[in-house]
Structure 1
């Protein structure tokens, strides 16, 4: 009689007879009873959560019973407490009413087993009974894990049912280790190479970790305690602790000497796939299917931090050999790198890098022993190598024949071992130059203005000569020159081509004047080779994929909602459908987007690209720019070619007219093609095309004239710069000649690449209203170095400043923690850290809310954790603590900063000096 037929008979007999009914072959505990308990009972009655002291996860515990004694009377189900609670004749009924209950056929199995004597199971392992599948052809088992002994003697190759130990010197197997419960998922050697640790287990039943002694390959200790298969087992660096994790969401810490469980680290909400000890042994990192990586204190078992940036399950985690970094990867195809502080406390372990790594989920990552390289494998069947100074991809191995689920380096860093799911094992030589190969790629910034002297001839003006519509029909321009042309009215549009002869490295400004002269033309300019092919300007390699979310943006908007913005940084190029912007400020609160650089209130573009509108969900990429011909290593994301072309001026200064900077890649003839971007032409579609040498320069304007200053307070001053022909250096502003009782924050800096800065003018409480003549003596001067020459430009004065009566509030910015205070009362911060400061309000009649901005922070230093309300001192309150965070790349500098109140006359706090130190002995928060 089949097992299904027996169960059917038990069901019929139990439903029709008052007494017990026992089939010829009664149910077996492992095969028939335990699956019912696992389905309906083990959620509350297991080794970890034994409600009422009752465990139904194995035969011995079931027979033992719970807090009320034995629950079974073998041979008499009617007298058995367990059966009566399942049948509902004894309260409380189990399972509870709100939980799924066993079906009649399943209840019949339990009753029949009890009435048959509640006998011990026949099988050796209380678990799942699976059919035996016999292959019809030779099958090589997959490689699930690899480990190289630190002493260099052995490589452990794990397959589901055995571990093969290979001798490195003899290049052959020395022993095969078997007898593990369930499938083997991970192997690893102790730091002293004396132990091999194995993680295995039976799915949905139990996990098992085994220690093998490498001296004679004898099985030393077995650790059991998990209720599901183990995925990871790691020995602490000193070998005293064992950490295990698996599908049951638990992390257990074991004392290796006694074999006893010490702690349970609970906090993950899904399977824990990978563990990594910090080299110092005090911290443990875990990667889970709940999309997080967690950091734990080994001594206390306390969760120190949760890294929640991943978007999908995390499958693998590793600690750098120097203990500075934790790296993880998983189903979202990305490698993320966190920098770990000594204590690892929450909020002190910033995400340093997030790299799009593979086109499929990441299977495994592994550090080289010297920490200079990281290897990663993926379901895309690629293996990639990353240098760890900046986690830049440096090598891609040939596409693998199957998934590479196992990776490990040799102790000398010279070889990478690869284990595949088709059972293959391969050893690849590691090129030592890979660790330094990033330096061979020269990254572009925005393009530079060449210092090669161009022609000093005067600009000549000529008229367009038709035909000039094809590369074989062009008009030669003797540079520098302006040519006046007209787009003819034709069905296909009228492209006009002009030939220029230039030398390699020379830079020329190519621009049009049409709309500014009230022409109907909307010009577009391109630089072509003599045969008409476009001239490549740069290669833009995407390193981070994203998309525009929440809402579309127009061609002016600088606030862009981007997916994965947390993993972006400031001063990165953002590519959106042909347009290149640059990230200026990260979102400041939940109702804010990434701010891009502005010019004149509109989104600024780079590499002479043109701003256009972008739809919601349109792809966007963080890109790095490289010169043409660079040996870019494929990372699975697009590489966008960028040509010399422009529709509307990227600086947003010429309206719809065009301008670009062309640097010749080599000597020769090039073509400038001018078209109407819509293909229009006819009378009124005129233009002037100018090709001239660049003349880098700058003009600074004062944005705040004739300020009104309350006595004993201050007012903001603003300055903006027009950068001309590519000048991008620092500009220093000085304010001198102020009347008695008045001071200014001076000098102030407009940093390279930026277009504005702020200062403040302060009036002492005893200051008197100066005369107009006294104000006329104030001088504002801008100074910069342009092409090696110091250029000073007087900007005039500040106009006539009016002194007003004291305001109803006074505001102050000051230190609030001696750790971050300098001897002169200023603030000091180290790159990559967060400090606190205090904004204080003296109220003299005004009790309402006071909202603040903080001016003149160095780029990369932000006011952090501001929330929806920004920096706000609430009504009737007098102070607010603020947090200042510096990005890791912020250079050492000093800057006078101040806070500005957004009410009661917009007063400015007295200045305070902020110092950025490259290295510091601050304890930090």
Structure 2
């Protein structure tokens, strides 16, 4: 509209001046009305936040979203956009040119956003964003967060072809299946669709029923936009509650058993706890650095476990949100987590193909909750875990299998089924009448929506396949665990061996020299036979009955021969005979440094935390066994026997291992047992040996053989290097096992003052499968002395340490010997009787005396007893030396005579010293500071310097930890200091109590 202003004209133009003025006012009114109308029209078309949010989402949210936004600036919501508190705010309402967002968008400030290599907003979008700021940047959205995105609407497939995303069982045998935006309820027996409920945002990722089965909790959401939790009342078939608070899709949601809380986990890395009564978010649990894929409440609704893509499982206290522990052992994303029915164990699994079990030791404060088991379960990612009863666990995997596990020890019960497609949920149903689980049935819902029943005779059983299978072909005398006793009694009069001399030619199976067992054979690897042909092996043919046990020993290097022997037992077809199979259950490798063929200490292994004492470790054909945990960051495992050269098992040969060499924790498979398909190898072990597995005879060979059938066999002797010569002589002895032991005594001459003790030791040489306990009884211990009596070398172990302690009563009481074990009650009586006698004792020491040692053991019910030639020669002397006692951890005035512990626990006590002029630091040793503790118990938290009391201090708290595998029992132990005389404490009792709980709710105590 153009407005023309003319000078005052004559009457001819507009008439009178008054008429002109009226005309001008009229046009002015018209102009104002037009301008006002224009303003009203624009105000009705203000740009809203709902219009500009898609622009921000498309061009900014990739770097400035809700999770870890760059520059701590987020456009995920109106509040976060306007909350920018920098000197130059992102948005200044009404002033685009002062808004930092606008300046970056137009290039007025550097760096220009979006970056030049990214998609740029159109001119219309830029104009719209500017106008929104100019209009005041108001938020027009009073509704909850947006749960949809502008995306093309594609037609859906027919219902029968739509994929299933998740599912769960419902009361009465029905099942719920989650799909995109919908939940379908089916009758399980005939899979008839009963009813559906739509209106969920995005894909339904999680379905969990309430404890009473009346409600169904749905987790869903739109990736990159928001998540939602919905609660369905099953009886009314209606959504009764919707919860929104996540900035990305919700992957898991669950209602607590008490019905008070809903926990939800999302791709936004947050866990939100909701109050069911109010529908409000009570607290956020932060700390995960990856998506939350699964979560689970314990049975008491006190604890929450969360599994995350950051390769951890976290444990939370529901009432406070306190994080109690982070389980960091996994090596891949964790996709599933479940509490055991006893609420004291947590199971989790994921991308590393392993199932792990942790014991919950504290629900009140942060604590280290020990991992009890880790098992390679599948050949691919483990997707779901579900308890089907108190003691059985089902797992499914991307390898399209479903497997059943005994939960208590996480042992495989076998494979339930091979699936046709990817599993998305485990569905279970048990008839109430079947209290023994005999009618327990399982469905595995697959992505196609199919869910066949997996009825199996394995369900409800608590026995492993290994326990049902036959005995392996390994030598029965060699126990699969240290406590296992040999199964063949020693023969009182073994038959005399037949003497043979090698007769050439015997260089093949066809030419083998026939021998009768038992036998002694003299031979040589001469290099050429009688007619000048080169040879490198001698063959001997023998017969054996099925199950017969024979020991093959080559004597060469110990007699000065250059032969490095290798002994094998073959079939008549020249093929190696299978002794046993070892299945890998965990994979590892050597870290920090490699190992030579003799070292038994400092085995630094990747993921050692997943390993347990007494497990077999396979590396490059050698099998060793874990003896002691690493004792700190600068240490590794000790392997058997704990000192000296390492022992090997299954007659494998010790070899050197390079840094980074692969190794495996393995278990022996029973004869008829099928390997568990877990993606790890199965290693065959044959009847062959290069070097003596006990490391007693250098390069000489030793092999234990059990005949798998009544047949003829071949024994082959050769040089392991392929060398030969006339002087490569040997003697081969083939004999029956003769289980026995011999002992040597260390520090048998004990010289001590009153109120002090001295340590002595016994080392056993076991032979031919005697692996049981060896008891050494002390005879002739005078009254007034406290002794480790009897001293017991535990099953499978080689050494034990005892102490003899002279109380003040030793100098004043009659020299009346007692052959009975001194109990703690007897010790107290002696101490009370001698109270105040220290001064007399230092001037009246008794005469020296001798204590006899009687050793015994059992094999297959037969007692083997030896009286040792060595004795303990004891002399009391007048000497002032450092003295110490073990007192209660919280009461230094109360001396303790026994401590109690359970497997998996750590206890403490305190050392109190009387320096008697010793001003230097006092050490009580390193990883061996707990003298004679039972195998599996050790002094913990000692650091790099060991257990010591620094200068100027007179006491120190120490800790004893019991491995989960420690067996209940009672054993004496002591401490020893390294000052002059190396005095010991009085012998103390360690009572190992049974584990507190089992995976059975009926056995568990109330937390």
Q: Which residue of 2 aligns with 1:545?
A: 587
Indicate if the aligned counterparts of 2:416 and 2:454 stay in contact, CA closer than 8 A. no
Question: 485, 506, 511: which is aligned to 1:468?
Answer: 506
Q: Are 1:129 and 2:166 matched, yes or no? A: no
Whether the 8 Å CA contact 1:209–1:224 is kept in 2: the answer is yes
Aligned residue among 53, 57, 64 for 1:30:
53
Paired position in structure 1 for 2:35: none
Q: CA deviation at 1:903?
A: 3.4
Counterpart of 2:172?
A: 152
**Radius of gyration: which is bigger?**
2
2:194 is matched with: 174
Q: Displacement, 1:700?
A: 0.6
CA distance in 1, matches of 2:865, 2:786: 22
| 1:440 lines up with 2:468 in the alignment | yes
Query: Could you say which residue in structure 2 is the equivalent of 1:379?
Result: 398
**C-alpha distance in 2 between matches for 1:409 and 1:768:** 79
Verify: 1:297 aligned to 2:369, yes or no: no
The DSSP-based 3-state class of the residue aligned with 1:598 is coil
Matched, 1:267 2:287: yes
Cα–Cα, structure 1 residues 366 and 43, in superposed 2: closer, same or farther, change >3 Å?
A: closer
The correspondence of residues 423-434 of structure 1 with structure 2, limited to 5 A, is 423-433=449-459
Counterpart position of 1:610? 653
Question: How many equivalent pairs are there?
Answer: 887
Please, which of 220, 226, 243 is the counterpart of residue 223 of structure 1?
243
Question: For 2:670 and 2:68, how far apart are their aligned partners in 1?
Answer: 65
Residue of 855, 864, 871 corresponding to 1:791: 864
Q: In the alignment, what sits opposite 1:10?
A: none
State the TM-score, normalizing by the size of structure 2: 0.81
TM-superposed deviation, 1:94: 14
Do the aligned residues in 1 keep the contact of 2:64 with 2:74 (CA within 8 Å)?
A: no
| Alpha-carbon spacing, 1:136–1:891, altered in 2? closer, same or farther (3 Å) | closer
Q: CA RMSD, aligned part only?
A: 3.9
Shift of 1:830: 2.2
What residue number does 1:366 align with?
386
Report matched runs for 1:42-121 at 5 Å: 57-58=76-77, 76-78=94-96, 83-86=98-101, 110-115=129-134
Three-state SS of the structure 2 residue aligned to 1:615 is coil
- Does the 8 Å CA contact 1:600/1:652 hold for their aligned counterparts? no
* Partner Cα separation in structure 1 for residue 638 and residue 475 of structure 2: 19
What pairs up with 1:818-897 in 2 under 5 angstroms? Answer: 825-852=897-924, 853-897=929-973
CA distance in 2, matches of 1:577, 1:71: 62
Rate the CA distance shift 1:483–1:169 in 2: closer, same or farther, 3 A: closer
8 Å Cα contact 2:106/2:112 also seen in 1: no
- The CA distance in 2 between the partners of 1:620 and 1:235, in whole Å, is 43
Q: Where does residue 501 of structure 1 map in the other structure?
A: 543
Greater displacement, 388-397 / 436-445? 436-445
Residue range with higher mean Cα deviation, 390-399 or 292-301: 390-399
Tell me the secondary structure at the aligned position of residue 609 of structure 2: helix
With 701-710 and 321-330 compared, the bigger mean Cα shift is at: 701-710
Which stretch shifts more, 261-270 or 187-196? 261-270
The reply to whether residue 534 of structure 1 matches residue 576 of structure 2 is yes
Q: Does 1:396 align with 2:415?
A: yes
State the secondary structure of the residue aligned to 2:703.
strand
Partner Cα distance (1:912, 1:64) in 2? 65
1: CA distance, partners of 2:670 / 2:71: 66
SS at match of 2:593: coil
> What is the rounded CA distance, in whole Å, between the counterparts of 2:372 and 2:776 in structure 1?
34
Determine if contact 1:246/1:272 at 8 Å carries over to the other structure: yes
Determine if the alignment matches structure 1 residue 901 to structure 2 residue 977. Answer: yes
Question: Aligned partners of 2:245 and 2:732: how far apart in 1?
Answer: 79
Q: Which one of 793, 804, 813 corresponds to residue 886 of structure 2?
A: 813
User: How far apart are 1:267 and its partner, in Å?
Assistant: 2.4
How far apart, in 1, do the equivalents of 2:259 and 2:178 lie?
Answer: 21
Matched-pair contact (CA < 8 Å) for 1:503–1:668 = yes
Shift of 1:655: 1.3
1:187 deviates by 0.8
What displacement does 1:427 show?
3.3
- Measured in 2, the distance between the counterparts of 1:26 and 1:626 equals 70
Contact 1:394-1:633 at 8 Å conserved across structures: no
What are the equivalent positions in structure 2 for 1:680-759 lying under 5 Å apart?
A: 680-738=723-781, 743-759=786-802
Work out whether 1:914 is the aligned partner of 2:986: no
The equivalent of 1:415 in structure 2 is 441
* Structure-1 residue corresponding to 2:33: none
Query: Is 2:553–2:734's contact at 8 Å kept on the other side of the alignment?
Result: yes
Distance 1:702 1:915, change over 3 A: same
The 3-state SS of whatever aligns with 1:187 is strand
Name the structure 2 match of 1:5.
none
Q: Summarize deviations over 1:48-101 as a string: whole Å, max 9, x none.
A: x999xx995445887999999x99787x4448xxx5344579xxx999x99996
Q: Secondary structure at the match of 2:461?
A: helix
> 2:346 is paired with a residue of what secondary structure?
strand
Q: 1:477 aligns with which of 505, 510, 515?
A: 515
Alpha-carbon distance change, 493 to 178 in structure 1, aligned in 2, over 3 angstroms: farther
CA distance change for structure 1 residues 336 and 746 in 2, over 3 Å: closer, same or farther?
Answer: same
Q: 1:631 to 1:73 in 2, by over 3 A?
A: closer
| Counterparts in 2 of 1:552 and 1:161: CA distance versus 1, 3 Å | same
Instruction: State how far apart, in whole Å, the 2-side matches of 1:247 and 1:73 are.
Output: 32
Within a 5 Å distance, the mapping from 1:652-663 to structure 2 comes to 652-663=695-706
Q: CA deviation at 1:519?
A: 1.0
**Is 1:405 matched up with 2:424?**
yes
SS, match of residue 776 in structure 2: strand
Shift of the alpha carbon at 1:809?
2.3
Partner of 2:811: none
Where does residue 38 of structure 2 map in the other structure? none
Whole-angstrom distance in 2 between the partners of 1:44 and 1:393: 40
How many Å apart are 1:857 and its aligned residue? 0.6
Query: How far apart, CA to CA, are the structure 1 residues paired with 2:476 and 2:950?
Result: 47
Aligned residue number for residue 278 of structure 1: 298
SS of the residue aligned with 2:307? strand
Question: Do the aligned residues in 2 keep the contact of 1:30 with 1:128 (CA within 8 Å)?
Answer: no
Counterpart-to-counterpart distance in 2, 1:663 and 1:570: 27
In the other structure, the counterpart of 2:708 is 665
- Specify which of 210, 228, 235 is matched with residue 208 of structure 1: 228
SS of equivalent residue, structure 2 residue 651: coil
Change (3 A) 1:311 1:847: farther
Return the alpha-carbon distance in structure 2 between the equivalents of residues 751 and 354 of structure 1: 27
Residue in structure 1 matching 2:164, options 129, 143, 150: 143
- Mapped to 2, the partners of 1:275 and 1:263 lie a distance apart of 16
Closer, same or farther in 2 for the Cα pair 1:697/1:769, shift >3 Å?
Answer: farther
Q: Secondary structure at the match of 1:602?
A: coil
SS at match of 1:130: coil
Cα offset, 1:694, TM superposition:
1.6
Q: 1:36 to 1:841 in 2, by over 3 A?
A: farther
Give the superposition deviation at 1:312. Answer: 2.3
CA distance in 1, matches of 2:490, 2:755: 54
Q: What is the distance in 2 between the residues matched to 1:501 and 1:767?
A: 70
> Aligned with 1:429: secondary structure?
coil
Shift of 1:485: 0.7
Take 2:83 and 2:650, find their aligned partners in 1: how far apart are those partners?
77
- Unmatched tracts of structure 2, length 5 or more: 1-41, 432-436, 478-485, 808-837, 998-1003
Tell me how far apart the structure 2 counterparts of residues 305 and 734 of structure 1 sit (CA, whole Å): 46
- CA shift, 1:461, in A, is 1.6
Secondary structure, in 3 states, of the residue corresponding to 1:114? helix
Structure 1 position 480, deviation (Å)? 1.6
Comparing 583-592 and 301-310, the one that deviates more: 301-310
Which of 663, 683, 691 pairs up with 1:620?
663
Deviation at 1:371, TM superposition (A): 2.9
Contact 2:475/2:549, CA 8 A, preserved across alignment: no
Match of 2:554 among 500, 512, 529: 512
1:527-577 alpha-carbon deviations (Å, 9 max, x no partner): 122332222211212222211211110111112111111111111111122
Distance 1:789 1:428 in 2: 49
Q: Secondary structure at the match of 1:33?
A: helix
Q: CA deviation at 1:754?
A: 0.7
- Cα distance in 2 for partners of 1:216, 1:680 equals 86
Question: Partners in 2 of 1:121 and 1:139 — Cα distance?
Answer: 41
> Are the aligned partners of 2:469 and 2:671 in contact in 1 as well (CA < 8 Å)?
no
